[in-house]
Structure formats: structure tokens, C-alpha cells
Structure 1
């Protein structure tokens, strides 16, 4: 190999490897700079988000481990406390036995084991602590109470799940009641109060079934609305009206169940419901007005013009002295609830006669 070839080989080795051609742009556009800045910002945010998720996962794992350790520690502390209590009671019993022997007193009679520490003292089946916690949580009850042992927790669970004897059955509905519902074909109420007790009880069943049917239809109508309507202030006000109406009529249902509704209220109530079932809503509204206002004097404006007593002046104060039906808050509320039921009924079941539509 000659000298020229050697020199050319060395020169080729000393040359740097080919690199990518650099940008020949001397200036960059503002949009390109903004794109580069945006890309760098997104990469930085992605890294931060990944770091936050990793920290959150680590924290969640530490919290779970800490909760598990605390649960095991609490269970161990309770078990040791229970064992210490049993040991202390045994020592106290032995000391009492020795004292009685020393003093020559008769021994204590052996009592059956009825201590609350025994889970099966009340012939109740024992449940493992983990299963018992899940069962209490399913009942929406606290899994632990302060200073509560496993036996006490088991007793509380059995008290919640054991049915109470002699409890009347409650039939489901918008207003749960002990009165058995009747079919819709038998809901037509009479206009007079029956004399015997069985017929009166059946009448209360008819009234409760009719109002529950009306509330169910009302609730279904509100549920069928679009979310754009139900979320408006007017839609929320309509739902609140239904809730208030159901709450107001609960005392009336209690009177139905206990057969304590006065005849002075039951008689016009039958006329109102009978007219509403026949879609005579104007007549039903007249019955409501007779029941709520009646013939009581309702003075409007100035009631005392001079110093002399006028004729029939005492009628203005007679109602206030004797007490009006609307002076009772509970009665006033369920009467207003009945009026709202009439307003919905004429919308849900409109009358055939246009003259029977309430204003």
C-alpha cells in the first residue's frame, strides 16, 4: 500500500459520522414556537399526572394496610380485654368461695351461665366477626359501638333481624298502612257512613286504597317527565308538593287504622271522594269548602265601626271561641292535601262534562 492510500484511509477515519441535517431555518414562526411550548407543557403535565397517580396508589395501599392493622389490633385488644374480664371474674369467684369457707358460710348456689360474653346465651347462633360486620353494614347499622364486645354486637344483630311478634302487617304503598288494599273495582265509596264496624273498616280500606292509587298515579306522572323539566324550579316544586301531600295525609291514615275519625269529618270526606270518583270535581270542591269553611263567619275589613253593639256581632267571635276545624294544624294540613289530590285527579282523570272542571 502506498502513502497516498494510507493518508486517505486516515482522513476518512478522522471525519465525524454523518448527522441529520440541521434545520436551515434562521427564524421560527410564532405558531411553531407555541406548538413546541404546548407539546412540552403536555409532556410535563402527563409526567405530573403519572406521579400523582403513583403517589395516590401508594397512599391508598398504605391506608388499607393501616386500616387492616388497626382492625387486627382492635380485635386483639377486645379479645384480651374479654379474657382478662373472664379471668378476673373467676378469681373473684374463687376468692368469694374461700372467704365463705373460712367464715363457715354456705356456698353460693351454682347459677346457669347467662353471661353476655357467651354468644349463644339466648340460644342464638354464633356468627364470625367478619361476617357479622358485613351483615350489620348491610342493615345500614354501625359495625362497632364504643366498648361493644362481640357478644353484645351479636345480640344487637339478632335484635334487629328477629321479627317482633304481634306486629300488624303493613302493606306497601306511597303511605304504608295496616289496612289491606282493595281492588280498584271495589274502591267506589258510599255517601253515607255505615253503622256496623265491619262495613266501617271496609270503608276505611276503600279510602286508603283510593288515596294510595292516586298518589301512585301522581308519582308515575312526575317520574315520566324529562330531566330538563324535572330539574327546573317548577319541576322540583311539583315533586315537593307531592312529598308534602303524602306527609300531610299520614295522620289521616292513622285515624283510618285506629277507627278514630270523627263523623263530622268522615261524612263530608265521603261526599268529596265519591264526587271525585264520579269525576264531578266542582261538586267535590263544594264539599271541600263546606268541610273546611262551612258556615263560619269570616269577617273581612273593619268589624268595629262605632261604640254601639250591632246585631249579629256575636257571630263573628263565636267561631273563635268554639274553635274551627282549620284551627287544628294536623286537620288543616290533611284537608289541604285532599284539595291538592282533587287538583291532580281532574288532570289525570278529566271529566266528560266541561262544567265539572274546577277553576
Structure 2
């Protein structure tokens, strides 16, 4: 009883102290000029509630409660999951930047190398690249396509090289350099397969069509060709059943006909990861080209 009485008095004293503090704060607010008050609530594991614990576990794909698991055990499980998640993000970003980031000295050397390569290919005219050239003179088209793409990569690197030092050293500047370097790496398998004749004919045609429209600054049409290359234009054969629910209508006897779909309808970006990456690399070159040489008519810009 004495302990309960003591705790009661302490609560009363604490309540009076808080009331006096609030009263003093109100008096100060009346005298002091009004300023926007921003309160920052820092949520720690000490003051986490049941609802927040459940929300954070669900967001990470974890069960909200295991059999016989107490609140403290669930909290420890959340700590472990979030700690692994944070370490994974930090390590992934650090490895990515360390693998691709170059200091200013390397950038200068890279810039000189790019200038030499640009001078080497300066006399090569890539304007004839088109689907018609591919049909009329396939060997010449296969010779010009990699020259154009590599030229764009070098010009892109040169543009990054000419940036001010403070821009190069910034996080955005480093990420821009990483993006260019990553794109060059992703396109290497494309150049290799193109040289060895391992690419399907429809793929080469769409790449040639993209390059043709890029050179005449018809970026919207280049994007249309890119969409055909990446996701194709095949429509799913969908019908309706007896109760009005849409269903696939490909039967046993229709599979052979479906296998005869025109190759222009194939979604090549879904073939494998390597092909998806170089297709994405072509898209990045398209974006750089549009930013570097914008069209006079804004309706020709791709989204």
C-alpha cells in the first residue's frame, strides 16, 4: 500500500510538472513571434507499436507472427531482417560504384582514347543504314550498324568527359558515367553475336530501322521500332466462354498454327537476361541521341 501511494504521488507530481511546462510554453508562444513548428518523430525499436510492427513485417514479406512467438521475439526478427536489408543495399551500391567509378585521371585517359577512336571512324558514313540497305547490301549494313552504335557510345563518353569537375565528382555525375560504362558493357554481346551471324534477321532489321530513324531525328518512329524489338506486337488469342469470361482459345489443333506466328511479333526482351540488357542499352543510346540532337518538331520526341 505504501508503494502504491508513493507511485500515485509521483504520477501527480509528474502531471503537475507537465502541466506547468505546457502553461509556460503557451505564455512564451504568445510573446514570441509565431514560427512554423516542425516536429520530427523518430521511430525506434523501443517505442514501436503492434500495428507498426505488423506493417513492417508484411512489407518485407515476413509472417506477422510465428507459432508461440512473443512480441519481443517478433521485434528481434524484424531487427534482423531490416539489418540484412540495409547491409545488402549498402554493399550492392558500394560494389556497383567501385566497379564502374573512374577517377579524373582515368577519365582524361578515356577521353583521349575516345577522341582517337572518333577520328578513326570519322570518315565512315553511317547514314545509309536502313532496312532497305540490309536487304540490298547485307554485308555493308552489318558493317555500319556497330560503327554507329560505338560512335554514339564514344560521343556520350566525350560529353561526360567535358563536364566541369564539380559535376563529375557529384553523385549524379558519377552515376551518369556509370550508366554510360554499363551500357557499353551490355552492348558487347550484341556486337559479338552480330559479327558471328547469330542474331535473328528480324532483330537486325529492327535495329537498322531504329538507327535509320535516329539519324533523321524521327525519335517517335525510332521508339515504335524499339517497342517492336523489345515486346513485339503479338496479340493473345482470347475468346469468351459460355458465361462471358475471357479465356485463351489456343487448343491442341491450333498450336501448330500459333507456332507459325510472324517473327515480327516476338518479344525478344523476354528471351534471356543478356539480350534484355543490350536491348535496354539501345534504348539508353536512343535517349542520349534525342537529348544531344533534339528535333525541331517536338511531336517527333519519344516519351
Question: TM-score normalised to the size of structure 2?
Answer: 0.50
Larger relative contact order (CA 8 Å, sep ≥ 6):
2
Question: TM-score normalised to the size of structure 1?
Answer: 0.43
Q: Which has the larger radius of gyration?
A: 1
Higher helix share: 2
